[in-house]
Structure formats: structure tokens, C-alpha cells
């Protein structure tokens, strides 16, 4: 059976069989594979869930159902229009499950495609402001999610200590025999390990709470409509308990970088403070539940997530590229260097970022 035929059969586990169906690759995520399905005039997103990474697919899908159901209710209470464009809608398989497992053991899910939407890898301060409102609102809507805390779809996901332990182990094991090629990076990571243990220390002191976080607030995980108004936050696989610093920081890491996440030209990379300010303004307007410690450390969150991503890309490079999709052999090393350059720019601008937050808070 050819690839397209296989994909069609998978789609038919969720929707009625039809000849009027078209399937095309979609998006540029580093983890799952996505396709756009058009069948009988309706549009969907079909995704192969990377279950080497998301090991418990039923719990993962259950999290997404809880989150989207809660948000849908909130939007209805607010009297929003076009709710199906403002929150994701999962399509259940014909057997009632929220996923389908195929004969080779792969897991699949289907969602409605949000029509007339687009995402950006590069934005301007005005769009950053709108994105800040959107992620602030997202956290606020989920602050009273009923029931037990969400399932941790990836254990220790944004846990810096655990990421550093994986890094040290990978340096020691040197499975892909790449340590020799990496010169100063190991030392740069080690020199900052103590500084980035701060959130855990604040948590132990009772000052930094865990809240329901998106945990992947990449700039391209926000959908805008044709007039550049925010429609919807997507990529909900990692919505789970975490520190708000993570969500704030991951947006700055991706949205306020003047270069690309994998830029080969390090001169392109620096923090765009106008985008930082736009995002912080929008976020603080909506995230009215934050305590002092959380607000004071938002700028630190930008450094933290960029450091964390440096460590994650580098660890994957040392492991021989087993986690992130790569386009060429040294891709993870290029990503590592680009993230590290951004970290240096954030370090240079740290006081400015802190003053921006302090000014906005008043
Ligand atoms: C992954 O799926 P995607 O590409 O939006 C990753 C994030 C990283 C990001 C780096 C589950 O996000 O944590 O920050 O790549 N998601 C997972 O760009 O690991
Ligand atoms: Mg994504």
C-alpha cells in the first residue's frame, strides 16, 4: 500500500469513507508528523503522535480533551463568537477513542482544521502584544481547571536539574563520538548550571507555584486570522503543571529572536527588546493572578528557557540525534550554537528586560 493510501485508511478510522479526499503534509514541528486532510469539503489536521516521546497516548489525549472542553466552556460563558476557530476540536475515532493505533503500532489523532488561519515564525511588536494577551488568557482560563492536576505527558519536561543530569550523562557516554567536536560549549553550560537552579530553589521556599502551563509557547504555536487577530493557541501536547516563567520564556526565545532558531549566521541573532516589551505588556494585562516572585523573574524565564533549549539541542546532538527531527547531520549543533548566541544576548540585555517588566507592572 502506498503512503497516501495508508494515510487515507487512517483518516477513515475517524471520518466516513469517501473518494473526495486529499491529504498533504503540514507544518514544521520538530516532534509529530502533521497532514492536512480535505474530505467532502471539510478540513482536518491528521497527526502521527510521536509515541517514543509521548509514551502514554490515552492520558495525553485525555489532557487535551480536558483542556479544550474547559476552554470551550469559558469562551461560551464570555459569549464569544466563532468558538470552533478559537479552541481546538478533537475528532473521536469511530470506536469512540480519541486516537487510532495502526497495524505498525503508530498512534494517530484527528482535529478540525481551523479555517483561514496562519502562524508566524517572525512577528512584530504589535503581534507580540496580541500573543502575550493570548497566552496570558490561556493560563488564566486554565487556572480553575476542575479535577486532578493534568497528567505529565513528558515527565520532568521543563525540569532544569533533570535536563542537566541528562546532559552530563550524554557527555560521559559520548555515544555518537561528537564530544571532541564541540569545544567550549560544555564549559559554557556547566558554568551556568548553578544560576539556572533558581526556580527549583524558589519553589522549595514556597515562592514559585506550579500552575497549568502550555509548555511549548513557541511563536508558531499561535494561530492568527486574516486580520492578524489571535484565533487560537495550538500544540497542546505539553499542557501540564509548570512554572509560568517557562511559558513566558519560551515565547521570548522564539518570538523575540532577530534570527532563526537554527541560524547558521550568529550575527543575525539577538533579542528584539520591542518584541519583548510587546509580549510582556499583553501577558501582564491578562495574567492578573501572578505573584511578586513570578513577575520579578519573567525576564529570568527568557534566559532560562533559552539555556534549557541550548542544553536540550546539545544533548540530542551528543546522543546522535534521537529526539528532534533534523535536516542535516550537524543540525542540532547549529541549533545549539544559535541558542547559545541568543542566551548571550539575553544576558547582555537582562537589566533592560527587568526594567521593562518593572515599568509595565506599575
Ligand atoms: C519542540 O513540537 P514543537 O516543534 O512545537 C519541543 C519543544 C522545544 C521545541 C524547540 C515535545 O516543539 O519543547 O522547545 O521543539 N516539543 C517537545 O523548537 O519536546
Ligand atoms: Mg509546534
* Rounded Cα–Cα distance for residues 35 and 22 (Å): 10
Q: Say if 356 falls within a structural domain.
A: yes
Q: Beta 211-213 vs 240-242: how paired, if at all?
A: antiparallel
User: If you measure from the C-alpha of residue 217 to the centroid of ligand 1, how many angstroms do you get, rounded to a whole number?
Assistant: 9
Residue nearest atom 17 of ligand 1, based on CA coordinates: 31
DSSP code of residue 112? E
Same domain as 227, residue 347 = yes
Q: Which of 49, 80, 112 is the last residue of a domain?
A: 112
So what's the pLDDT on residue 128?
98
Q: What is the pTM of this model?
A: 0.95
How many folded domains does the chain comprise? Answer: 2
Tell me how far CA of residue 349 lies from CA of 187, 272, 303, 355, in angstroms.
22, 10, 10, 10
In short, whether 30's Cβ falls inside 6 Å of ligand 1 is: yes
Q: Say if 354 falls within a structural domain.
A: yes
Query: Closest by alpha carbon to 326, among 264, 263, 262?
Result: 262
Q: Say if 272 falls within a structural domain.
A: yes
Same domain as 188, residue 100 = no
In short, whether 216's Cβ falls inside 6 Å of ligand 1 is: yes
Q: Say if 118 falls within a structural domain.
A: no
Q: Which of 75, 90, 112 is the last residue of a domain?
A: 112
Residue nearest atom 13 of ligand 1, based on CA coordinates: 216
Same domain as 186, residue 274 = yes
So what's the pLDDT on residue 27?
80
Contact at 8 Å (CB) between 338 and 269? yes
* Rounded Cα–Cα distance for residues 56 and 222 (Å): 25
Same domain as 320, residue 242 = yes
In short, whether 309's Cβ falls inside 6 Å of ligand 1 is: yes
Q: Which ligand has an atom closest to residue 238 CA? A: 1
Index of the ligand 1 atom closest to the CA of residue 309: 14
Same domain as 129, residue 107 = no
Same domain as 309, residue 227 = yes
- b/e per residue 75-108 (b: at least 16 CB within 10 A): beeeeeeebebbbbebbebeeeebbbeeeeeebb
Rounded to the nearest angstrom, the gap between the alpha carbon of residue 297 and the centroid of all alpha carbons in its chain is: 20
Index of the ligand 1 atom closest to the CA of residue 154: 11
So what's the pLDDT on residue 257?
98
Same domain as 156, residue 239 = yes
In short, whether 316's Cβ falls inside 6 Å of ligand 1 is: no
| Geometric angle at alpha carbon 325, from 134 and 46, rounded to 5° | 60
Please tell me the total number of residues recorded for the chain in this structure.
Answer: 362
* Rounded Cα–Cα distance for residues 237 and 274 (Å): 30
So what's the pLDDT on residue 201?
97
Index of the ligand 1 atom closest to the CA of residue 323: 19
Same domain as 129, residue 52 = no
In short, whether 261's Cβ falls inside 6 Å of ligand 1 is: yes
So what's the pLDDT on residue 32?
93
Tell me how far CA of residue 47 lies from CA of 44, 171, 303, in angstroms.
10, 33, 32
Same domain as 350, residue 223 = yes
So what's the pLDDT on residue 183?
79
User: If you measure from the C-alpha of residue 195 to the centroid of ligand 1, how many angstroms do you get, rounded to a whole number?
Assistant: 23
So what's the pLDDT on residue 58?
97
Contact at 8 Å (CB) between 323 and 272? no
Contact at 8 Å (CB) between 212 and 150? yes
* Rounded Cα–Cα distance for residues 319 and 169 (Å): 10
Range of the structural domain that residue 29 is part of: 3-112
Same domain as 68, residue 177 = no
User: If you measure from the C-alpha of residue 13 to the centroid of ligand 2, how many angstroms do you get, rounded to a whole number?
Assistant: 24
Contact at 8 Å (CB) between 63 and 239? yes
Rounded mean pLDDT for each run of 10 residues along the chain, 362 residues in total: 90 97 90 96 96 97 98 97 96 97 96 94 96 97 95 97 98 96 93 98 97 95 96 96 97 98 98 98 97 98 98 98 96 98 98 98 82
In short, whether 335's Cβ falls inside 6 Å of ligand 1 is: no
Burial class (CB in 10 A: 0-12, 13-18, 19+), 334: buried
Q: Which of 54, 89, 112 is the last residue of a domain?
A: 112
Q: Say if 117 falls within a structural domain.
A: no
Q: Say if 240 falls within a structural domain.
A: yes
Same domain as 322, residue 192 = yes
Residue nearest atom 18 of ligand 1, based on CA coordinates: 30
* Rounded Cα–Cα distance for residues 94 and 362 (Å): 53
Amino acid at each position: 500500500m502506498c503512503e497516501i493510501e495508508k494515510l487515507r485508511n487512517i483518516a477513515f478510522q475517524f471520518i466516513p469513507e469517501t473518494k473526495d479526499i486529499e491529504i498533504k503534509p503540514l507544518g514544521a514541528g520538530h516532534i509529530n508528523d502533521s497532514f492536512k486532510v480535505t474530505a467532502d469539503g471539510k478540513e482536518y489536521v491528521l497527526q502521527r503522535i510521536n509515541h517514543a516521546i509521548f509514551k502514554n497516548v490515552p492520558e495525553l489525549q485525555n489532557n487535551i480533551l480536558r483542556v479544550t472542553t474547559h476552554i470551550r466552556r469559558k469562551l461560551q460563558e464570555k459569549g464569544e463568537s466563532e468558538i470552533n476557530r478559537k479552541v481546538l476540536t478533537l475528532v473521536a475515532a469511530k470506536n469512540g477513542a480519541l486516537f487510532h493505533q495502526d497495524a505498525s503500532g503508530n498512534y494517530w489523532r484527528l482535529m478540525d482544521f481551523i479555517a483561514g488561519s496562519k502562524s508566524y515564525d517572525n512577528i512584530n511588536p504589535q503581534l507580540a502584544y496580541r500573543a502575550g494577551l493570548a497566552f496570558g488568557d490561556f493560563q488564566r482560563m486554565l487556572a480553575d481547571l476542575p479535577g486532578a492536576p493534568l497528567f505529565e505527558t513528558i515527565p520532568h519536561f521543563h525540569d532544569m536539574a533533570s535536563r542537566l543530569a541528562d546532559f552530563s550523562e550524554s557527555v560521559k557516554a559520548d555515544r555518537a563520538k561528537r564530544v571532541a567536536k564541540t569545544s567550549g560549549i560544555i564549559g559554557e553550560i556547566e558554568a551556568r548550571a548553578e544560576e539556572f537552579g533558581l526556580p527549583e530553589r524558589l519553589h522549595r521556599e514556597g515562592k514559585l507555584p506550579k500552575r497549568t502551563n502550555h509548555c511549548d509557547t513557541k511563536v508558531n504555536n499561535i494561530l492568527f486570522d486574516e486580520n492578524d487577530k489571535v484565533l487560537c493557541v495550538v500544540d497542546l501536547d505539553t499542557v501540564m503543571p509548570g512554572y509560568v516563567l517557562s511559558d513566558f520564556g519560551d515565547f521570548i526565545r522564539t518570538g523575540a529572536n532577530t534570527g532563526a532558531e537554527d541560524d547558521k549566521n550568529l550575527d543575525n541573532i539577538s533579542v528584539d527588546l520591542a518584541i519583548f516589551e510587546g509580549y510582556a505588556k499583553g501577558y501582564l494585562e491578562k495574567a492578573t493572578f501572578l505573584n511578586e516572585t513570578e513577575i520579578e523573574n519573567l525576564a529570568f524565564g527568557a534566559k532560562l528557557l533559552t539555556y534549557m533549549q541550548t542544553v536540550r539541542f546539545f544533548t540530542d546532538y551528543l546522543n546522535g540525534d534521537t529526539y528532534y527531527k533534523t535536516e542535516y547531520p550537524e543540525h542540532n549543533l547549529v541549533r545549539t550554537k544559535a541558542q547559545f548566541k541568543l542566551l548571550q544576548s539575553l544576558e547582555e540585555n537582562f537589566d533592560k528586560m527587568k526594567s521593562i517588566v518593572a515599568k509595565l507592572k506599575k
